[in-house]
Amino acid sequence: MGIADDFRNEVEIATRNALAESGSEVDFIIEVPSVGDADLAVPCFNLAKTMRKSPKDIAEKLAGMIRPSGSISAVSSMNGYVNFSIDRGVLVTETLNEILAKGDGYGRLPPTGVRVNVEHTSTNPTGPIHVGRARNPIIGDTLARCLKMCGNEVVTEYYVNDVGKQVVILTWGVENIPKGSVEEEERDKTDHKLVAYYRKANKMMEEDPAVAEQISDMLRRFEAGDQEVIGSVRHTAQIMLEGLKESLANINVALDRYTWESDFIADGSAASVVSRMKRTDYAGQTEDGSWYVDLAEFGVNGKNTKFTFTRSDGTTLYTTRDIAYHMSKFSRSDRVIDVLGEDQKLGSQQLTYALRILGCVMEPEPMFYAFVSLPEGKMSTRKGVVVYLDDLIDEAVERAYEEIRSRRDDMSEERMRETARVIGVGAIRYNVVRVQPEKQFVFTWKEALNFDGNSGPYLQYVHARACSMLRKAGDFERDADPSKLTDEYEIKLVKVLSKFSSVIAEAGNQKRVHVLPAYGHEVASAFNQFYAAVPVLSSGASANARLTLVECSKIVLRNVLECLGMGAPEEM
């Protein structure tokens, strides 16, 4: 692939040959040294036992046997490690030429032909997206982008829960609460307008038994297949969803497909799941008449190992319909990924076993994230203890606007607004995705609006900086001559650029999206150090080569930003 992989392969072959020559074919690992200037190292400690020599001796012997060749420029030993250095000339030429040749495609892995379905967001259409839930679309969308870069055919999908009590409550509220009697939110967006009815309906249901009865009745009619109720609930969900889509679009998230939960009831596939489940050896029925499968032998723990898939009246449950949904996804995908909140862990596990019982060979790959809370505690849409994503976006964009205005007097108002949006949204996405998903996350405005250091704007700033230099340079002749790029900062930058495709592979295929912002920061930081230490435009004979390095950095950064769903501003 790239020079980084070539170098690693050469190190592996050279080491294996040297070991074979000395009569010991033992396994060894190759790692990136945590200390010193070498680029790769082979620790010899685990070889010591089988070879019956000290690690230090082994390392010295191996280092003496391996001759630098190809992309390996030097081999040495220290403290029981064999250290390998990459040939700088090869590194510079290969890396820069590959980036220039591939451009937007630099970092992209060869096509796999694998169809990957990524379900994400899927929040209940009962209220606006709050910053707790926002982790889902941001992680999901970033993962989907990375999987595409990994050469897969990716479809993103939102499962719309237009079935069940929550949406019925909302619909009851919208249909029965007079317009003037709720405090409508100021924001002119359907999700914000409707959530007021949802809150009020919940409150009324708790306080007034008559209302509770009306809602129960509506729910019964819904379950019984009353087309009027089903239709109006779906209609309400649709309206709500328009608002949610707008919020998602504002953070550069657009899903390929929306699948409605009620469709699995309407088309009979949920009922088909029920009849198939009933025929399995795991199925049973309680005295009341509800059906379950016993998952005890699958290692499901807890007080109750029974997984119920119909109510006593025969109607289906959320998870039953989710089984039908997953079978639908299996029929059109090779890999199915679900981005879920950690509260779904048990449900996801039950789903997996139920699918297995039904004979499915494919299994969903869940990806869980921990909840985001506020310093004062958990968020709750119903109680109104929330920070909405829309408010966060506004706040971040406003803050970015102030920053731009304070340092630029030559930009048009429109341009400043436009750029502020790119920066504000970038800051939000970066801030969310930089943290490992399973880590608990306490939302603070200070962190969310951080534009310095390890932040989205830091990467964008470097992109803008590189663009500015290239603008000033005008036309120049590209030059990847390694004899003109010998400064330590230049070499370090090139090394970082050469790693991109391996980072993409990890972020996508291993579903470790948080490595991507870390990498972006590494690129930007290496660039800033280079920028501070090495003159470019005024560097005479080296100028073209340095400008080439600037251009390559810009390309890599833009590709990283693209994978992160962040804009790459040309000035800021």
Partner RNA sequence: GGACGGGUGGCCUAGUCAGGAUAUGGCAGCAGCCUCCUAAGCUGCAGGCCGAGGGUUCGAAUCCCUCCCCGUUCGCCA
Alpha-carbon gap, residue 191 to 244, rounded angstroms: 6
Name residue 85's beta-bridge partners: 74
CA pair distance 386, 377, nearest whole angstrom: 10
Site size for RNA (CB under 7 A): 102
Q: Min. distance of Cβ 366 from RNA in angstroms? A: 10
Q: x/- string (CB under 7 A) for RNA, residues 432-461?
A: --xxx-xxxxx---xx--xxxxxx-xx--x
Give yes or no for residue 18 binding RNA (CB under 7 A): no
User: Does 383 sit near RNA (CB under 7 A)?
Assistant: no
- Give the DSSP H or E segment for 515: helix 515-533
> 110, 178, 303, 361: which one contacts RNA (CB under 7 A)?
303
* Listed ranges 4-12, 95-103, 384-392, 522-530: which one lies at the site for RNA (CB under 7 A): 522-530
b/e map of 18-35 (b: 16 or more CB within 10 Å)?
A: bbeeeeeeeebeeeeeee
For the segment 319-358, give every residue that binds RNA (CB under 7 A): 319, 342-347
In the complex, least distance from residue 536 CB atom to RNA, rounded to whole angstroms: 4
Exactly one of 423, 485, 549, 566 binds RNA (CB under 7 A); that residue is 423
Structure tokens at 270: 């949920």
Closest separation between CB of residue 183 and RNA, Å? 25
Which of 400, 480, 493, 563 forms a contact with RNA (CB under 7 A)? 400
Q: Which of 56, 200, 311, 492 binds RNA (CB under 7 A)?
A: 311
Of 4, 18, 38, 516, the one binding RNA by CB under 7 A: 38
Residue 476, CA distances (Å) to 328, 543, 547 in order: 54, 9, 8
Cβ distance to RNA smaller for residue 28 or 358: 28
Q: What is the largest CA-CA distance in the chain?
A: 88
How far out from the chain centre does Cα 304 lie?
34
- Say whether residue 20 binds RNA (CB under 7 A): no
Among 50, 301, 380, 486, interactor with RNA by CB under 7 A: 301
When asked if residue 138 is in the footprint of RNA (CB under 7 A), the reply is no
Give yes or no for residue 540 binding RNA (CB under 7 A): no
Residue nearer to RNA on the CB measure, 35 or 266: 35
* Tokens 């939960």 belong to residue: 261
Residue 373: Cβ-neighbour burial (10 angstroms; 0-12, 13-18, 19+): middle
Label the pairing between strands 291-294 and 257-260. Answer: unpaired
CB of 180 to RNA, least distance (A): 30
Q: Does 494 bind RNA (CB under 7 A)?
A: no
Site for RNA in 54-93 (CB under 7 A): 55, 78-79, 81, 83
DSSP state string for 120-153: -----TTSPPBTTTTHHHHHHHHHHHHHHHTT-E
Interaction with RNA in 163-192: which residues (CB under 7 A)?
163-167
452, with CB counted inside 10 A (0-12, 13-18, 19+), is exposed
CB of 188 to RNA, least distance (A): 27
Range 229-268, binding RNA (CB under 7 A): 261
Counting Cβ atoms within 10 Å, is residue 371 exposed (0-12), middle (13-18) or buried (19+)?
A: middle
**Contact region with RNA (CB under 7 A), list: 160-168, 206-214, 237-245, 474-482:** 160-168
Asked if residue 518 binds RNA (CB under 7 A), the reply is: yes
Rounded to 10 degrees, what is the CA torsion of 244, 250, 251, 257?
A: 50
Residue 329 or residue 521: which is nearer to RNA going by CB? 521
Q: What is the spatial distance between Cα 286 and Cα 155, in angstroms, rounded to a whole number?
A: 40
Nearer to RNA, 498 or 542 (CB): 542
As a whole number of angstroms, the distance between CA 152 and CA 141 comes to 14
